[in-house]
């Protein structure tokens, strides 16, 4: 226990606990936070995405329901082991059981033919 001039008394364990929690999260591999789900792909050309930019099927972009526009997500195929980093620029998918819609270019880079189980980091 430690006393301060202001009269506040604080146990040492309450001061140390947040430090240990912060250190624990610093050394946990990012794969522990990965989301595993089913990905699909889409590739219409010329229309506008939810962020307002033109859809480019060849770009490394994707649609996600909740991630911020402009954020980057690394998508790893469970089948092929390939990874690609995409920028979120659209909303979707709006099909139950799917978590991300990849552009045609991103799907091609992963070696996807149709639906595929992926990990998101």
Span 64-87, pLDDT tens digits = 999 999 999 999 999 999 999 999
> Is 15 part of a structural domain of the chain?
no
Domain residue limits at 61: 30-120
Q: Read off the tokens for 106.
A: 């991103």
14 found inside a domain: no
Provide CB contacts within 8 A for 115, sequence distance 6+.
Answer: 38, 39, 40, 98
> How many structural domains comprise the chain?
1
**Residue-wise pLDDT tens digits, 31-63:** 555 789 999 998 877 789 999 999 999 999 999
60: CATH: 2.40.40.10
Q: 43 in a domain, yes or no?
A: yes
Cα Rg of the chain (Å, integer)? 21
Helix (H) or strand (E) run with residue 110 in it: helix 104-110
Does the pTM of the predicted model rise above 0.85? no
Domain assignment present for residue 23? The answer is no
CA distance 115 to 39: 6
């Amino acid at each position: 226990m430690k006393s301060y001039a202001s009269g506040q008394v604080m146990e040492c364990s309450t001061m140390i606990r947040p430090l240990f929690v912060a250190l624990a999260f610093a050394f946990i591999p990012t794969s522990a936070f990965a989301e595993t789900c089913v990905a699909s792909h889409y590739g219409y050309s010329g229309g506008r995405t939810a962020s307002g930019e033109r859809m480019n099927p060849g770009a490394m972009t994707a649609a996600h329901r909740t991630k911020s526009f402009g954020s980057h997500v690394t998508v790893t195929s469970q089948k092929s082991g390939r990874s690609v980093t995409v920028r979120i620029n659209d909303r979707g998918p709006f099909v139950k059981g799917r978590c991300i819609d990849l552009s045609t270019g991103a799907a091609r880079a992963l070696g996807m033919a149709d639906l595929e189980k992926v990990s998101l980091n």
